[in-house]
């Protein structure tokens, strides 16, 4: 079984993935962390040095290089929107959209170091609200192609695991 966790930055993909993997007897992989290891630099530095198109290409290549046996894979927030990644993930596993409200995402992202997140760099609180609204509108059509959809804030971990198990039966 392979489960791809998709959703906006701050939706909780990495946090949920780390908790879900042992429940489903899978290995957890965060694509961003794997890419950082391969490149020897942070996502922020990859984008600064090579640009976003290079980053998106490498992100896609990294995704496709993963051994998919029994994995819970946390993707970057924009990954489903580029290089036909959403279609590829749907063909190679179960896609689970962490459908978190704009308000919850804002609450989570307003406290992060925005300078460490290239898309958030230099945004004040109001600009952050606008960015979240616009990007969610842009990305939602990709996210909604997921096979499963849930709000991890309101659904207990055991229920999420059961939903996935029931989907593959």
Q: What would the pLDDT profile of 115-131 be if each residue is shown by its tens digit?
A: 888 889 899 999 999 99
Q: What is the pLDDT of residue 141?
A: 98
Q: What is the pLDDT of residue 118?
A: 85
Query: Residue 72 phi/psi, 5° resolution?
Result: -110, 120
Query: Closest by alpha carbon to 89, among 43, 137, 38, 142?
Result: 142
83-116 pLDDT, tens digit per residue, is 999 999 999 999 999 999 999 999 999 998 888 8
DSSP state at residue 67: -
CA–CA gap between residue 97 and residue 137 (Å, rounded): 15
pLDDT band at 70 (very low <50, low <70, confident <90, very high): very high
Query: Residue 51 phi/psi, 5° resolution?
Result: 95, 160
Q: What is the pLDDT of residue 112?
A: 87
Q: Which domains does the chain have, with CATH numbers?
A: 2-168 (3.40.50.300)
Q: What is the pLDDT of residue 21?
A: 97
Three-class secondary structure of residue 117 per DSSP? coil
């Amino acid at each position: 079984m392979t489960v791809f966790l998709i959703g906006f930055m701050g939706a909780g993909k990495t946090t949920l993935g780390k908790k879900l993997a042992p429940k489903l007897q899978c290995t957890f992989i965060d694509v961003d962390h794997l890419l950082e290891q391969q490149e020897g630099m942070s996502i922020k530095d990859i984008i600064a040095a090579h640009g976003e198109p290079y980053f998106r290409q490498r992100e896609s290549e990294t995704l496709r290089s993963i051994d998919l046996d029994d994995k819970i894979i946390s993707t970057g927030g924009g990954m489903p929107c580029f290089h036909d990644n959403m279609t590829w993930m749907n063909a190679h596993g179960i896609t689970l959209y962490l459908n978190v409200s704009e308000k919850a995402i804002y609450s989570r992202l307003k406290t992060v170091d925005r300078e460490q997140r290239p898309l958030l760099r230099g945004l004040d609180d109001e600009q952050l609200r606008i960015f979240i609204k616009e990007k969610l509108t842009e990305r939602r059509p990709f996210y909604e192609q997921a096979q499963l959809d849930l709000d991890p804030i309101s659904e207990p971990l055991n229920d999420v695991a059961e939903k996935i198990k029931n989907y593959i039966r």
